């Protein structure tokens, strides 16, 4: 499903915008792999204009933000499926209940920490090997 971007990409008078694609693969043994790359040459130009990190800081922040947002949505959906009455409660509330925000924040952070504890060392190893092999 293609959607229109919130911000047209490129260098603009009040902002710069580029697109990062993320590819996801699950093999027949159940192993997940992913990659990320800039979408096209225009995105490379914008990223290169952002200073010494060439958009890596901005991209890392954006991908982390989207990962946390996706995990929060997963945790909310789990909670809604386990507590169907919560849907009506949320629908009738003027704003999200603070106790729900606090509870889902705690659960989301716990799940992210568990995932990161399992992933970080292997991803750091992979990154160092990529740089080493490219030298």
Rg (CA), the chain: 19
What's this model's pTM, rounded to 2 decimal places? Answer: 0.82
- Quote the pLDDT of residue 90: 83
Position 124 pLDDT exceeds 70 = yes
pLDDT beyond 80 at 10: yes
pLDDT at 98 over 70: yes
The pLDDT score that the predictor gives to residue 62 is: 95
Across the chain, mean pLDDT equals 92
Longest C-alpha distance within the chain, in Å?
59
What integer pLDDT is reported at residue 1 of this predicted model? 64
Cβ atoms < 10 Å from Cβ of 19: 15
The CB-side HSE value for 21 (13 A sphere, CA atoms) comes to 10
pLDDT at 73 (0 to 100)? 96
**Domain locations in the chain as residue ranges:** 1-54, 60-135
Helices (H), the chain: 41-48, 56-82, 85-92, 98-134
- Of 58, 55, 74, nearest to 115 by C-alpha is 74
């Amino acid at each position: 499903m293609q959607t229109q971007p919130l911000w047209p990409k490129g260098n603009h008078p009040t902002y710069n915008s580029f697109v990062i694609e993320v590819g996801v693969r699950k093999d027949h043994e159940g192993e997940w792999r992913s990659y990320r790359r800039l979408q096209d040459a225009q995105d490379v130009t914008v990223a290169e204009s952002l200073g010494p990190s060439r958009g890596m800081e901005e991209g890392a922040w954006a991908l982390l933000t989207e990962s946390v947002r996706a995990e929060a949505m997963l945790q909310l959906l789990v909670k809604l499926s386990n507590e169907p009455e919560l849907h009506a409660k949320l629908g009738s509330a003027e704003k999200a209940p603070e106790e729900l925000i606090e509870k889902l924040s705690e659960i989301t952070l716990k799940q992210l920490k568990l995932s990161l504890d399992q992933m970080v060392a292997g991803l750091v190893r992979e990154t160092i090997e990529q740089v080493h092999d490219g030298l």
